[in-house]
Amino acid sequence: MSHTNSLPLDRAPIEGSRTADRRPRMLLGRVRVGSRTLHGIVEGDTIHVVRGGLFGRLERTGESFTAREATLLAPTAPSKVVAIGLNYRTHLGDERDAPANPEPFLKAPSSVIGAGEPIVLPADAGRVDEEGEVVAVIGRRARNLTEDQVDDHVLGYTGGNDVSARHWQRDDLQWWRAKSADSFTAVGPFIATDLDPERIGLRVSVNGEVVQQATTADLIHSVRKCIAWISRSMTLQRGDLVFTGTPGETRQLAPGDSVRVEVEGVGYLVNPVVAESP
């Protein structure tokens, strides 16, 4: 993200969400200042630096930076990204039955980008779509969780764009490049703590036109169920990301587009779309 005069914080409520009544206790971010990568607490348009990253006591160092002085990064550097497919009925369509259990797949950590970084369309990918999602950020090592234990292992929630190459998704046996090409996992801008995972508002716009809107109340499998299900087979480490599903119909992307994923209480994640350089 280039330097701006203000941070990408949401201003308007999303229909159906409850975050207007339950504001996040804290917004957390990860930034680059000069050659340093720093973590901090976001208050207004200022980032207050904390010692030791986002997973400890969040002790302030006394150092702070404005939006103009810092470059936003993806809020974590995950060891893995797990995404849930077919988790909104509006995305499933009328011809498919809802899956009996969550359907996770993996996205490569190397595909992660932050706010303001370009989504690059590979020259031979064919159709590439946006998929806006609410993303859970794991805060503690998690294995064999029950649904009741999930909240204690989640640091907070952020926004994400599970960029997807449809022709590769259809033609390849595995989704390795359809979901994990460089820049295909946009995340940010911040992590909001203490959101109610049962009803977080999501709104996605392409070039200013709203193309997706939902809340996590519409999920087929709840956020807690998805994380518990994943943890039965795979250890989740702090900083790992869980994409919870995308609603409705997605929009094909073209060079020059601008995609905005807004998760209420988190802020808005904006990424330009560019063609791959020859």
Q: Please check the confidence at residue 18 and state whether its pLDDT lies above 70.
A: no
How far is the C-alpha of 52 from the C-alpha of 191, rounded, in Å?
A: 16
How far is the C-alpha of 132 from the C-alpha of 274, rounded, in Å?
A: 18
Residues forming a β-bridge with 268: 262
Q: Please check the confidence at residue 2 and state whether its pLDDT lies above 50.
A: no
Token readout for 270 is 């904006």
How far is the C-alpha of 165 from the C-alpha of 137, rounded, in Å?
A: 24
More confident residue, 155 or 2: 155
Within a 10 A sphere around the Cβ of 46, how many other Cβ atoms?
Answer: 15
Query: 89: buried, middle or exposed (CB in 10 Å: 19+, 13-18, 0-12)?
Result: middle
Contact 228, 142 (CB under 8 A): no
How high does pLDDT run on average in the chain? 94
pLDDT tens by residue, 172-192: 999 999 999 999 999 999 999
pLDDT tens by residue, 66-107: 989 999 999 999 999 999 999 999 988 776 899 999 999 999
pLDDT of residue 276: 98
Contact 255, 152 (CB under 8 A): no
pLDDT of residue 8: 82
How far is the C-alpha of 64 from the C-alpha of 40, rounded, in Å?
A: 8
Q: What contacts 95, CB < 8 A, 6 or more positions away?
A: none
**Which one-letter amino acid corresponds to residue 6?**
S
How far is the C-alpha of 243 from the C-alpha of 105, rounded, in Å?
A: 10
Structural domains in the chain, CATH included, are 74-275 (3.90.850.10)
Q: What's the pTM? A: 0.93
Within a 10 A sphere around the Cβ of 214, how many other Cβ atoms?
Answer: 26
How far is the C-alpha of 166 from the C-alpha of 178, rounded, in Å?
A: 7
The three-class DSSP label of residue 267 is strand
How far is the C-alpha of 95 from the C-alpha of 118, rounded, in Å?
A: 35
- Of 244, 164, 246, the C-alpha closest to 203 is 246
Q: Residue 84 CA to chain centroid, in angstroms?
A: 12
